[in-house]
Amino acid sequence: MNAPLTLAACAVDVLTTADPLEKTRRSRAHAKAWFNARAAGQPMPIGKASPPLQPARPAKPDLLAPRDVPRRRPGTPQGRIALLHAVAHIELNAVDLHWDIIARFTDTPMPMGFYDDWVKSADEESKHFGLMSDCLIAEGSFYGALPAHAGMWRAAEDTADDLMGRLSVVPMVLEARGLDVTPGMIEIFRKAGQTDAIAALETIYAEEVGHVAYGSKWFHFLCGRHELDPKETFHALVRKYFHGALKPPFNEEKRAEAGLPPDFYWPLSEDLTGASE
């Protein structure tokens, strides 16, 4: 493979690679190239490229509507495999989400730190996918063995023309949700004594705080640029683009660490109570 010459081309290279191991390998290699060039004082140009509307994905897993994905009880070995599989699927999606934000919005001039943050996040998601994949193999399964949720890319499509909308819905709603639910998952594996899965999920949990924080940082940056009130703007964008409910309980401590104050998310949980979607 010839290494792409711009960061946007690196992003499209990852997005158009279907095989998960190859996708994550390229993601990590491009991240390394980006940071090596930054350290050498000769940053890779951002460039321009056309990201696909949807990223390339492998033939397996089958993607099903959420209501059709079989539910398994987490107290069973099969249930825990299903949980690891679901997390692996989320991580693979996250790899593409972070490269997509890099390639999608190059018409909006942003400081270099914006790209540093999302390249680092994409690299970490690639590692997270590898960790989940290894846990599945250790349990006699693999990514692709079970069906997975379709529709995870919807947030990206809905916000393909709106960088502030993307930041609001992806890192500040979806990834923040990960902070709420991960401690409960870790507890499930602790009860089962699955130390590899506990260690992997602890790594994910620690690094996801950073991704939410990057979302909040760049959202606030753009609010400043456009002289917008951050809280009101966030509420308006989530109401416009997010099609689910923000469900408590919230991990207030980790959300605070990531720069999400309670008055950002609590009002959205209240006005979505009873929403039909």
Q: How far apart are CA 218 and CA 215, in angstroms?
A: 6
Q: How far is CA 205 from CA 6, 22, 165, 177, 199, in A?
A: 31, 24, 24, 11, 10
Q: How far apart are CA 264 and CA 258, in angstroms?
A: 12
CA dihedral 27, 30, 36, 41 (to 10 degrees): -130
Instruction: Select from 72-80, 83-91, 150-158, 217-225 the region that touches Fe ion (CB under 5 A).
Output: 83-91
Instruction: Select from 25-33, 93-101, 181-189, 233-241 the region that touches Fe ion (CB under 5 A).
Output: 93-101
The yes or no reply on residue 89 touching Fe ion (CB under 5 A) is no
Of 47 and 116, the one with the shorter C-beta distance to Fe ion is 116
Q: Angle at Cα 149 formed by Cα 22 and Cα 157, nearest 5°?
A: 80
The yes or no reply on residue 211 touching Fe ion (CB under 5 A) is yes
Of 47 and 149, the one with the shorter C-beta distance to Fe ion is 149
The yes or no reply on residue 127 touching Fe ion (CB under 5 A) is no
The yes or no reply on residue 30 touching Fe ion (CB under 5 A) is no
The yes or no reply on residue 128 touching Fe ion (CB under 5 A) is yes
Q: How far apart are CA 99 and CA 215, in angstroms?
A: 14
In the complex, minimum distance from the CB of residue 166 to Fe ion, in angstroms, rounded to a whole number: 14
Among 125, 165, 214, 254, binds Fe ion (CB under 5 A): 125
Q: Residue for token digits 């990531």?
A: 258
In the complex, minimum distance from the CB of residue 207 to Fe ion, in angstroms, rounded to a whole number: 7
Q: How far apart are CA 147 and CA 196, in angstroms?
A: 23
The region, left, alpha or beta by phi > 0 then psi within -120 to 50, assigned to residue 108 is beta
Instruction: Select from 48-56, 118-126, 142-150, 158-166 the region that touches Fe ion (CB under 5 A).
Output: 118-126
In the complex, minimum distance from the CB of residue 126 to Fe ion, in angstroms, rounded to a whole number: 9
Chain residues that interact with Fe ion, rule: CB under 5 A: 91, 94, 125, 128, 175, 208, 211
